[in-house]
A and B are shown apart, each in its own frame.
Chain A
């Protein structure tokens, strides 16, 4: 079972109360981008066996969007954080590195 804490409600809730919306921190390639960049923005997603950064929405609760950092294999959650950011907060990166020294944040 995957338990996430909504940073807006402060409540730890079960996965089915949320809507998962895939990979977070995408760069929106828009006007002026190459075809390759635009294709990648629209269609290409990472699917790592390990640490993932995702967008989630507390759809049955407060309705807010937020981000979550978790392990796709063990379902361990390293933290949830505000949607109003372009990259994961430093404390969450530090937490992941402490627990998974072999993990490297890729751009």
Chain B
């Protein structure tokens, strides 16, 4: 977990710690990811291969067959990343700074999976969803994406306009005594 300064709001009253991260720099890249030349360019640029379907690796997440979400590494900026992507990918593409469009949350605790299991219609057991997996789905009625940062830590993103609603939802779902501690057995 990043240091406390990177959070704008933290609630530790529940069984799982819920924290809203400050602005996280990220870039959306839309382009045909099956294009070999594009894949090579992305690898050279980001220092990591294009993640497989529904995977996340080294801060690059598979959003769709033609979409990546790139967390901008420390020391760089969305503007610099976009400039590099524009310069190096020859196929039709679009790179956009979505940092202000997204809210990012950290869920930390042994039963973090169960907080999401209350609202997401998917199998969140450790067998079905592990580190490296990336899942876009809904949480309640909110479109979200999340991944395991560690066995006891989840990062979740949603649209920025729903930041407060999502935070309150997560805090409510994480209340002490409300998680059956089933998924981490």
Q: Show the binding face of A for B, using Cβ within 8 Å.
A: 8-11, 13-14, 16-17, 59-64
Q: Give the secondary structure class of A's interface.
A: loop
Establish whether residues B65 and A11, one from each chain, have CB atoms under 8 Å apart when the complex forms.
no
Q: Show the binding face of B for A, using Cβ within 8 Å.
A: 53-54, 63-65, 67, 121-122, 135-138, 143
Given A9-B53, A16-B138, A17-B137 in contact, is the A64-B65 Cβ separation under 8 Å? yes
Q: Give the secondary structure class of B's interface.
A: strand
Given A16-B121, A17-B121, A64-B65 in contact, is the A11-B54 Cβ separation under 8 Å? yes
Give the residue name and chain of the B residue nearest to A10 (CB): B53
| Total A-B pairs, Cβ < 8 A | 36
Establish whether residues B54 and A14, one from each chain, have CB atoms under 8 Å apart when the complex forms.
no
For A13, give its contact among B64, B122, B143 (CB under 8 Å): B122
A62 to B64, CA, bound (A): 5
Find chain A residues with CB under 8 A from B53 CB.
Answer: 9-10
Establish whether residues A14 and B122, one from each chain, have CB atoms under 8 Å apart when the complex forms.
yes
Return 21 A-B CB contacts under 8 Å, by A number: A8-B65, A9-B54, A9-B64, A10-B53, A10-B54, A11-B135, A13-B122, A14-B121, A14-B122, A17-B137, A17-B138, A60-B136, A60-B137, A60-B138, A61-B136, A61-B137, A62-B63, A62-B64, A62-B65, A62-B136, A63-B64
